[in-house]
Amino acid sequence: MKKILLGALLIGMNMIFIQESKAQLYLDAKQPVEKRVKDLMKRMTLEEKVAQMSQFVGLEHMKKAEKEMTVEEMKKSHATGFYPDLHSSEVEEMTKKGMIGSFLHVVTYEEANYLQSLALQSRLKIPVLIGIDAIHGNGLYHGATIYPTPIGQASTFDESLVEKASRETAIEMRAAGMHWTFTPNVEVARDARWGRVGETFGEDPYLVGKMGAATVRGFQTKDFTGCDKVIACAKHFIAGSQPINGINGAPADVSDRTIWEVFMPPFKDCLDAGAFTFMMAHNELNGVPCHGSKHLMTDVLRKQWKFNGFVVSDWMDVERMHDYHRIVPTVNEAYQLSVAAGLDMHMHGPGFAESIVAAVKAKKLSAKRIDQAVAKILEAKFKLGLFENPYINEDKVAEKIFTPEHQQTALEMARKSIVLLKNDNQLLPLDKSKKQKIFVTGPNADNQTILGDWALRQPEANTTTIIQGLRKVAPEAEFEFYPFNWNLRKMKPEQVEEAKKQAERCDLAIVVVGENSMRYYWNDKTCGENSDRYDISLYGLQQELVEALHATGIPVVVVLVNGRPLSTEWIADNIPAVIEAWEPGSLGGRAVAEIIFGDVNPEGKLPITIPRHAGQIQTYYNYKFTSKWFKYATGKSTPLYEFGYGLSYTTFDISPIRLSATEMKLNERIKASVEVTNTGDVAGSEVVQLYVRDLYSSVVRPVKELKAYQKVYLKPGEKKTMTFEITEKELMFYNINMQYVAEPGDFQLMIGNSSGDKDLQKVVFKLL
């Protein structure tokens, strides 16, 4: 009955909406967006304008938090919130009056429709913009397709696949009533202790920018106008991925050179791809909170880069300029400082709107600054078609979510994201026809840790765990399974001993270890948002479990399910086969099994360097020579696995580099070619990577920088020529005067299948 009444209400309100559109230009869909925005803003009071800049958490989220959280817990949380002096029923009334412009943490289409029905009772009938963290699929929605987390997406080195998955995510979001995704996270991850590494595309600015831009294109296409697209959000601006101690939101203290050479380029790539929103970073940058930085929001974004969208804050970070960063004595001053600096929308909660209205009336903020912000927010709502189509057809939702096509994309991405790290004596792939008893165990073998962070619990039928995948892919094989609880903190020595005893009766063991990013077990997770570590080894008794299985004398395959690089040096030295699965998503268990049994040839490459120990942090491939001038006095100084590295079940040969010329002038280009040959017995794909080093320059440059890559598929014995063009662009950097130039001189060109020197062909050419 409730659904019927709501349906009748929606139909009635739509009729009124259509009638009024004839009288009010902004409600006329035939009018240009610019005219509609201008007409609507003429009709708005100051209070209604500032309301558009105000975002709140969803009603159902709020109601749940009201029951379960204290005020102090809410202040400390980055994921759950309510408003101690504002009940959810009062938020409903505010929405009816047009005093809220946006919501987040709305995870059902029923609530999305209800919120829109409230908003359309307001004087001007402005729909609300609903944002959500759809980081790798719309994972906070129950039943969505969950793709591999971004670190796995980057491992594919396949931008078209990333764009396709993002396009499908946009379709699923709109089907569920959501319009705005808080992704891509294009921070360049340079500290494996930081829990959000898995939410990024890795350590290289070029690769991160390519993947981020592909994500933006997938969500927005060329223009996000329409009812099947969503707004992308480039975040977090900027440098939060290099916190001074690995902790999320900790200060970033880095030079302007590092900011512009490492952290800025991916954001500019996203902007060039059309990203309509930017989100500021939690951290302070060189002593200035990003949320109060006029330099970042206005001077760089709007003036230098000509950004034409709007900027949103992150979770309660404006308030933190008062109580955490302590750069202003009151919250009101924090609100005013942030908006004056260039912030357009506040996430989340009461107090902001009242403060900004009062500041404008007191002439502490200009009305023009408010109009600039509101115009862009309204532009988004018009382009998304929310004024014409604010509601979701609830009967059509199931047709667009977790579809066979989307599942296939998720499976393909999982297959291509998995990295084979070690395969001594060709232990893998396993032979399905060979009769052997296979022991499977580990805390990540049979649960939803494979979904990663930013995914709530999904239907069991939608998720293929690793043990399920093994049984599906090799139904004739004999598996013996010993289950561990998902909670790494509760592993017991007697469980390890029992697993060892069972393994002794088997011919081979597969052990699935790693980390837990499940945000619905917030206090128990070891990876993901706000789960930073000072130690990046296997947590709990996982190392003991692997060593116990190794001690049985049977071959052991280690499968890692994790969102950050883990220092598994003992495993690298002692275990014959190691697979980095990252967090491979809904169909991840099947993809892992297909690789283990050879149905799929692994092709993933590491988008981030894996250190041997937390003491090697920071470690990345594009280092300065003197950072490795001396070796550590104890232990090895080389990384455990290098950026760009990944094995295959076949082998590839890359010929010496042929240059079209050994000298080039500015505005000219040369071509560099190599022949790639599949020298093995299995068809496979290789990622051919091109690196450049400026041999002598006015400032110190990295030993190598990724400038291009191409992926090639080859049958056994097949050979193809891969050609790269080198232009002035690939040689440019910020010189001693911070001018972006290419300096004449010698450059070393390197082409190979990883960043490791042993895997690279090298040649020198001259820029005249």
Average pLDDT over residues 290-312: 98
Confidence (pLDDT) at 8: 53
- Tell me the pLDDT tens digit for each residue of 405-449: 999 999 999 999 999 999 999 999 999 989 999 999 999 999 999
pLDDT at 1: 47
Distance CA 337, CA 294 (A): 9
Domains and CATH numbers, the chain: 404-628 (3.40.50.1700), 652-767 (2.60.40.10)
CA atoms within 13 A on the CB side of 388: 14
Give me 73's structure tokens: 């817990």
Residue 314 bears catalytic tag: yes
- Give the model's pLDDT for residue 235: 98
Of 22 and 743, more confident = 743
pLDDT of residue 407: 98
Range 127-138 average pLDDT = 98
What are the pLDDT digits (tens) for 633-687? 998 999 999 999 999 999 999 999 999 999 999 999 999 999 999 999 999 999 9
Predicted confidence at residue 320, as pLDDT, reads 96
pLDDT of residue 10: 55
Number of H helices, E strands in the chain: 23, 27
Task: Say what the pLDDT of residue 86 is.
Answer: 87
Q: What local confidence, expressed as pLDDT, does residue 584 receive?
A: 98
| Token pair belonging to 593 | 């099994």
Per-residue model confidence as pLDDT tens digits over 357-387? 999 999 999 999 999 999 999 999 999 999 9
CA angle 291, 296, 299 (to 5 degrees): 135
The interaxial angle of helices 264-272 and 205-220, nearest 10 deg, is: 30
pLDDT at position 83 is: 85
Phi, psi for residue 347 in degrees, rounded to 5: -110, 110
Find out whether the peptide bond into 429 is cis, omega within 30 degrees of 0.
Answer: yes
Report residue 365 as tokens.
């903020």
Structure-model confidence comparison of residues 72 and 336, the more confident one:
336
Rounded Cα distance, 400 and 228, in Å: 10
Q: SS3 letters for 87-113? A: CHHHHHHHHHCCCCCEEECCCCHHHHH
95: left (phi over 0), alpha (psi -120 to 50) or beta: alpha
> What pLDDT score was predicted for residue 590?
98
Strands 705-714 and 663-664: unpaired
From the list 110, 129, 119, 132, the residue with the least C-alpha distance to 395 is 110
Instruction: Give the model confidence (pLDDT) of 22-81 as tens digits.
Output: 579 999 999 999 999 999 999 999 999 999 999 999 999 888 776 776 767 666 666 677
Query: pLDDT at residue 17 above 70?
Result: no
Q: Is the pLDDT of residue 558 over 90?
A: yes
pLDDT of 2 > 70? The answer is no
pTM: 0.94
The confidence score (pLDDT) of residue 13 equals: 54
* Structure confidence at residue 65 (pLDDT): 72
Point out the catalytic residue in the list 158, 191, 314, 694: 314
Q: Residue-wise over 726-756: b if at least 16 C-beta within 10 A, else e? A: beeebbebeeeeeeeebbeeebbbbbbbbbb
Burial class (CB in 10 A: 0-12, 13-18, 19+), 766: middle
Is the pLDDT at 534 greater than 90? The verdict is yes
Mean pLDDT, the chain, integer: 95
Whole-number pLDDT of residue 84: 82
pLDDT-derived band at 20 (thresholds 50, 70, 90) equals low
Bridging pattern class, strands 419-423 and 577-580:
antiparallel
Q: Is the pLDDT of residue 599 over 60?
A: yes
Strand-pair category, 508-514 with 419-423: unpaired
